[in-house]
């Protein structure tokens, strides 16, 4: 059975999707590797190397920023608008959750490090969910 014309992606969509994948792949691999190194305690727990390994996590984070900027530059107007609206929603969630973490920390409830990490993870998931909700795809 042949696919209908409506569901087929254009060549520019395919090129954009590949470029997005190539932009994000090194950052994701870097974050996973650094998380595994951190989780298994392979970098040690004392000394100046701990600071180095901790700050090394900034490299894939900056790569993510680069990937987002590059994907926004490749997007058309509608995709940019949807992406920026999703980013705004995710940022709003992040601001409110960090504010809540500050209030909980002031009250002596919870672990600040864990709560901040959870806040970042949730805000990114909200960003992705908002983008998926905003731009439904035909299947």
Domain region containing 59: 9-74
- Domain total in the chain: 2
Is 3 domain-assigned? no
State both tokens at 1.
């059975």
Give this prediction's pTM: 0.67
Q: What is the pLDDT of residue 139?
A: 39
What is the Cα–Cα distance from 93 to 124, expressed in whole angstroms?
Answer: 9
Largest CA distance in the chain: 63
pLDDT at 48 over 70: no
Residues 43 and 94 in one domain: no
Residues 66 and 80 in one domain: no
Residues 69 and 80 in one domain: no
Residues 55 and 110 in one domain: no
Residues 25 and 43 in one domain: yes
Lowest-pLDDT choice from 38-52, 69-83, 96-110: 38-52
């Amino acid at each position: 059975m042949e696919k209908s014309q409506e569901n087929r992606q254009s060549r520019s969509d395919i090129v954009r999707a590949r470029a997005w994948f190539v932009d994000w792949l090194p950052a994701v691999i870097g974050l996973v590797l650094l998380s595994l190194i951190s989780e298994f305690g392979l970098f040690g727990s004392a000394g100046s190397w701990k600071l180095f390994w901790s700050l090394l996590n900034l490299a894939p984070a900056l790569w993510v920023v680069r990937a987002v900027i590059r994907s926004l530059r490749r997007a058309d107007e509608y995709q940019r608008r949807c992406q920026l609206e999703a980013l705004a929603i995710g940022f709003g969630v992040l601001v409110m959750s960090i504010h809540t973490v500050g209030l909980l920390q002031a009250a002596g409830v919870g672990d600040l490090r864990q709560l901040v990490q959870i806040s970042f993870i949730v805000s990114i998931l909200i960003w992705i969910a908002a983008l998926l909700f905003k731009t439904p795809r035909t299947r």
